[in-house]
Structure 1
Amino acid sequence: MLKGIPAILSPELLKVLCEMGHSDRIVIADGNFPTESNGKDGIVIRLDGHGVPEILEAILQFFPLDTYTDTPATLMEVMDGDNVATPIWDTYTEIITKYDKRGKAAIGTLSRQTFYEEAKKSYAFIATGESALYANIILQKGVV
């Protein structure tokens, strides 16, 4: 155990966050995201009993978002025809605003297929038990 480190950040996840370099990406995936198939070239960490907001909050306490890109946090756009509300995105905005002065401006979106293609390039993936739809987020690491 370490002082000041949220318990949700497992030793494996802390190691991965430390290994990541500038511009590396990590996906925090909802429960419906195909983490294992998209993450076959990366590291997959399972945090099935947790939701994305609590993991995002814990990570951003230590993880700088990239200042060399306009949108270091990326969400998957809702597909046309899907009648889905995304109130969880408001939660993400609140959390990101606490840790990045750009706030909502640091968050971008990609179409579903483009999101999957970009996700495949990520260094690591966190599989969660998040039940909200379209709750996936890619974070791009900055410098300390």
Structure 2
Amino acid sequence: MKKSRLLNSEISYEIAKIGHTDHITVCDAGLPIPNEVKRIDLAIEGGIPGFIAVLEPILSEMQVEEIILAQEIKEKNPEMLEKIMESFRKSGMDPKITWVSHEEFKKITNKSKAIVRTGECSPYSNVILKSGVVF
């Protein structure tokens, strides 16, 4: 049995395949997911699983050098923004933050290697995780 925190085999596989600057998106229940991007749908019902409950195990396996966030989260969901930042502090990573409009964010997800959909139902609870290197 896998020893690390992240047990989901699909997510582990996608992390294992990505290279430097490739990215994976973790999103709330409402973000549109392009048909051509791999969807890993974890949503069971509203709020389950929550965004942070999915993000933190991913951060335990993935080296992240940059994150992309919709600038709207600053005003519309500052509590979630703080939880995201706290998750990175706990992981020991201090990634560069790139702010874009929500519309631009949705366009960027077209280039994600995978999109992990959570059951989160709070606005703008989405992050694009750009892979770093461990050496």
The amino acid that maps onto 1:91 is K
Q: Once the two structures are aligned, what percentage of the paired residues are identical?
A: 28
CA distance in 1, matches of 2:19, 2:93: 21
Are positions 1:5 and 2:5 aligned together? yes
Unaligned runs of 5+ in 2: none
Determine helix, strand or coil for the equivalent of 1:109.
strand
> Which digits, 9 at most, give the CA deviation of each residue in 1:45-81, with x for residues without a partner?
0111311111111011111012xxxxx11111228xx
> Which digits, 9 at most, give the CA deviation of each residue in 1:73-125, with x for residues without a partner?
1111228xxx733311100001112234436xx33321011111111111110
Query: Once the 2 structures are TM-superposed, how far is the Cα of residue 5 of structure 1 from its aligned partner?
Result: 2.7
CA distance in 1, matches of 2:11, 2:107: 23
Q: TM-score, normalised by structure 2?
A: 0.86
Are positions 1:41 and 2:30 aligned together? no
Question: Is contact 1:60-1:99 (8 Å) kept?
Answer: yes
Query: Once the 2 structures are TM-superposed, how far is the Cα of residue 4 of structure 1 from its aligned partner?
Result: 3.0
Determine helix, strand or coil for the equivalent of 2:115.
strand
Superposition CA RMSD, Å: 1.8
Moved over 2 A (4+): 3-6, 83-86, 98-103
Are positions 1:135 and 2:125 aligned together? yes
Question: Is contact 2:29-2:120 (8 Å) kept?
Answer: yes
Question: Is contact 1:86-1:134 (8 Å) kept?
Answer: no
Unaligned runs of 5+ in 1: 67-71
The amino acid that maps onto 1:107 is I
Question: Is contact 1:86-1:133 (8 Å) kept?
Answer: no
1:7-26 equivalences under 5 Å are 9-26=7-24
The aligned counterpart of 1:99 is 91
Question: Is contact 1:29-1:126 (8 Å) kept?
Answer: yes
Are positions 1:108 and 2:104 aligned together? no
CA distance in 1, matches of 2:50, 2:122: 9
Are positions 1:29 and 2:27 aligned together? yes
